[in-house]
Copies of this chain bind each other. A is one copy, B any other.
Amino acid sequence: MLRSTEKSHVDQDPYFRWRGGAVTRIENLSDIVFALSLSLIAVASAPPTTFSELISVFRSGFAFAFGFVILLMIWNYHYLFFRRYGLSDQKIVFLNALLLFVVLMFVYPLRFLADFMFVLIPAFFTNFDTVAYMVGGIENGENLLIIYSFGYAVVFLIIAGLYGHAASKREALELDETEYLLTRRSRASALIQAGVAMFVAGVAGLTPIGPWAGPLY
């Protein structure tokens, strides 16, 4: 059932008729995977039994917030895509499975990255002992950057693939002029994000500036 135009001002996507009706099983499965990932990032450590352990739970909250925002951003892309187009053909199922795979694959690394950043930043003002313990050398910092840039690029390539597929179904979905344009633009913007990530990975891997390519984001 299409959203009536009167209702469209109460959600976040006023220029688009939503073709997705009731939540499909593909979306349901994905939601569960996203929610599980959020929880896995939140409770990476064992439950606290003393006050100082409790405090360290809250301290790691900053790292948790970092992963939480990234995962929820990906979820929001996913959410908008499926609400807008309501597609569920073979290719969508395949791309969606790929996305879930990458998300689950990067849950723990995302937590690691966040923990690492909150060790790295104060290290600039003191010393790099803990950083060295976690990473084990400057060339590993380089590899870290390449791995995460790669993951980031893959996520946005999948999103670009999803939007590209929706654009190719223009007639079946009865996209009007604005909607078609928005679809093409979403695809382009995802491709640009993937490109930037791969550029950063390339700079880090191939030039001597190595891990210092990070601030290019």
A→B interface (CB under 8 Å): 9-12, 21-29, 31-40, 42-45, 47-52, 54, 57-58, 61, 64-65, 68, 72, 75-76, 79, 82-83, 85-90, 92-93, 97, 100-101, 104-105, 107-109, 111-112, 115, 133-136, 140, 143-144, 147, 169, 172-173
B89 touches A12 (CB 8 A): yes
| Known contacts A39-B104, A104-B64, A47 near B111 by CB under 8 Å | yes
- Hey, which chain B residues are within 8 Å of A109, CB to CB? 48, 54, 57-58
Copies of this chain assembled into the complex: 4
- Hey, which chain B residues are within 8 Å of A140, CB to CB? 51
- Hey, which chain B residues are within 8 Å of A44, CB to CB? 47
A33 touches B33 (CB 8 A): no
Q: Give Cα A85 to B7, complex, Å.
A: 11
| Known contacts A39-B33, A51-B135, A25 near B27 by CB under 8 Å | yes
Q: Give Cα A53 to B31, complex, Å.
A: 28
| Known contacts A9-B172, A58-B109, A29 near B35 by CB under 8 Å | yes
A29 touches B28 (CB 8 A): no
B42 touches A173 (CB 8 A): no
- Hey, which chain B residues are within 8 Å of A88, CB to CB? 10-12
| Known contacts A10-B172, A105-B42, A25 near B33 by CB under 8 Å | no
A10 touches B169 (CB 8 A): yes
The smallest C-beta distance from A26 to any residue of chain B, in angstroms, reads: 8
Q: Give Cα A50 to B58, complex, Å.
A: 21
A101 touches B68 (CB 8 A): yes
Q: Give Cα A100 to B31, complex, Å.
A: 14
